[in-house]
Structure 1
Amino acid sequence: MERNEKDVLSQKNEEISSIEVVQPRIERLICVIRDKQVMVDSDLAVLYQVETGALNRAVKRNVQRFPEDFRFQLTAEEYENLKCQSGISSTKDRGYGGRRTLPYVFTEQGISMLASVLHSEVAVNVSVGIMRTFVEMRSFIANNALLFERISNVELKQLEFQKKTDEKLKQVFEYISDHEEASQKVFFDGQIYDAFSLIVSLIQKAKREIMLIDGYVDVGTLNLVSKKKENVSVVIYTQERTRLTESDVENFNAQYPVLEVKYTKVFHDRFLIIDREKAYHVGASLKDAGKKCFGINRIQDDEIIKSILQRLESEAGLE
């Protein structure tokens, strides 16, 4: 186990003055363990502005998304070697001192997965920066292979292959950083977490109001809309045979005001309308998202959105 190759050869950096290193703070936090470039959970927690325990609890709640090649726990020997190579004082600063359990480390794939688990703009932006640093480091190593005598021929071939794919990865990073969802998305049976994650991300885009048209709602639906931003109102249009009770609505409003439930029979399909500007056609009730194959489509035609809003207003006038 050794720190990342760039730090190992820091004394030779003057020989390659034409190369600039972006985000040096992040690069210093990347180390090599079990022949993989990884970052320690406590370092990631600092970057994501969360507690280390909170980060690991979020991962444990979604542990199926973090297989061994995404995240693994250090052995006692690996932990001691890491502390020795990092320096005792720096390891305390980074949160290692006084830990009751051995740290977890995350590979590049695991770090990219963290953004979807933590559900925050900070996590998305930091993950993009970290992933770009991984890309930059691979490019650095591949372009300066002669400086790294410890890298085997097999590792160099792997780095060269990864370098060829980095351009596509950069396009993915740009997609993430723009926070723009695809106009169409299909989920297959079993993709419950992915479906819920997308729906929550749409709900969190609302700045003023969320309007949901869904004939079958229950407490599970309220769990989703509770992810909204503070001071965003919610109006749910559903059928009178809804499973929601007055007590459910009162309990919701006590913690996440303001929710209003209205009843209508004229809609068969489900629609999610954000701030009366963006609308989505949802192929399944929100409470059942991911249980069977369904799709979510962004409605691009503003006239259609206006028509839906006008119908809702006419329904309200008939009450």
Structure 2
Amino acid sequence: MMIWEDVKKDFKRYLQLERNLSNNSVEAYLNDVHKLEAYCAYVKKSLEQVDRRTIQQFLIFINDFNISPYTQARLLSGLKTFFAFLQIEYDWSTNPAELLESPRLSRKIPSVLNVQEIDALIGAIDLSTNEGMRNKTILEVLYGCGLRVSELVGLKISNLYLDVEFIKVEGKGNKERLIPVGNQAIKYLKIYLNEVRPLSPAKPGHEDIVFLNRRGAQLTRVMVFLIIKDLAKSIGLTKTISPHTFRHSFASHLVEGGADLRAVQDMLGHESITTTEIYTHIDKDYLQSVITQYHPRS
């Protein structure tokens, strides 16, 4: 009889070593399997007894908890990966989740900030403090490079090539990419690294991390969320924003300025250009110009 804990340990190693996934992605996959395990315990089924009908009933069961279609789709994707792993490592004959269809997902247009709102947020930072200078640098890098918050907090000094105006980041799946960095971000990175960061000696293991807290440790993702939330509150901004809003704004403003979608895709680290194309729908002036130029009634 297969033991859930043993199988999950093997699955974790598979995700880390063979799929080379980030810690966050590994935890998400394991959490999906843990949900299925809890359901199987509830209906008194062993792992070997799980078939397509079991997974269908499991998805119906969790749907009663008002889980969003996006979460359901991601959960099913995780289970498909898990059973594909069982086929490889445990010689399972079939993948019971393989033929199940994910719920249809609506394509939401992301919220973005305009240039005036970004300037107001950055302008609200108190530059008389060391933390203020750090926070100013954080926002300049977020907006100037379009980083994910995980990429920002994991940014390394050894991956800064400011003399040639590039930085290297480690994105999803530990994939590396080079991103050009603008003059404003370079200016404040140099000030922060030379004048502010040395005032908080890095803890062992954090010497190469760019952004540190007051105790010399790597900033957490939550801390970056709180910094932005407090700034939004201070200027009375009613939009719901997060670090990812700066990434959306970075991409949207590039597309509005006429940047090539392929270039924006590379800078964002999107695997598919269809993900990047969402930013063409944000630019109303661009859409209007398409109508004006190509529609016979215009």
After TM superposition, the score normalised by the length of structure 1 is: 0.27
Q: More relative contact order in 1 or in 2 (CA 8 Å, sep 6+)?
A: 2
Between Structure 1 and Structure 2, the one with more strand by share is: 1
Between Structure 1 and Structure 2, the one with more helix by share is: 2
Larger radius of gyration: 1
After TM superposition, the score normalised by the length of structure 2 is: 0.28
